[in-house]
Amino acid sequence: MKTVVKVSAVLSWFNLIVWGLAVAILVLSALSFHSMAIVVFAFFLSAILLHNYAALQLHKSIRNPATKLSNQTPAGIRFVGFIALFLGICYMANGVALLQDPRGSLKLMQSQAPEFFKTVPIASIRTGGIMALVLGLSVAVNVFLNFRLLRWYYLVKQSDIS
């Protein structure tokens, strides 16, 4: 179980930093463009941050049994974890779609903003697809690992009480 805790901790910190920067950039963009849609999107992405913070609290409780886990943390890991899992799966699906048909994706993007996507090479679309796939996979794997760790934490806690 130590390996699972270490992998989950690395993924939690990675996700916390990467998605924290993404949410910060989105919030600053929303302030700059006065766009409520960007604020809503940043709000949904913050579920990944909340899940990773709760997961780090769980890791602290697992490593040091004297540290009690808050009553709200398990519910947060479960509820916010499902939202984060949904977002991770969406990002993985987006990455697969970009990798399967980068030319078609570029045509769709060019129809939305022709001036902006006029000079974008296909290699950039593929790179974006790979990044979306890796980031979505890191979120989904981390959520699954944290669900497993939470279940293990309660089983160990239950056996200590008995």
> What angle separates helix 102-112 from helix 72-100, to the nearest 10 degrees?
100
Owner of token pair 């090479």: 121
Taking a C-beta distance cutoff of 8 angstroms, is the pair 14, 138 a contact?
Answer: yes
User: How many domains in the chain?
Assistant: 1
Write down the pLDDT at residue 160. 72
Q: What is the pLDDT of residues 93-148, one digit of tens each?
A: 999 999 999 999 999 988 988 888 888 899 999 999 999 999 999 999 999 999 99
Average pLDDT, the chain: 93
Six-digit token string for 92: 């993985």
pTM of the full structure:
0.89
Domain extent, residue 98, equals: 2-161
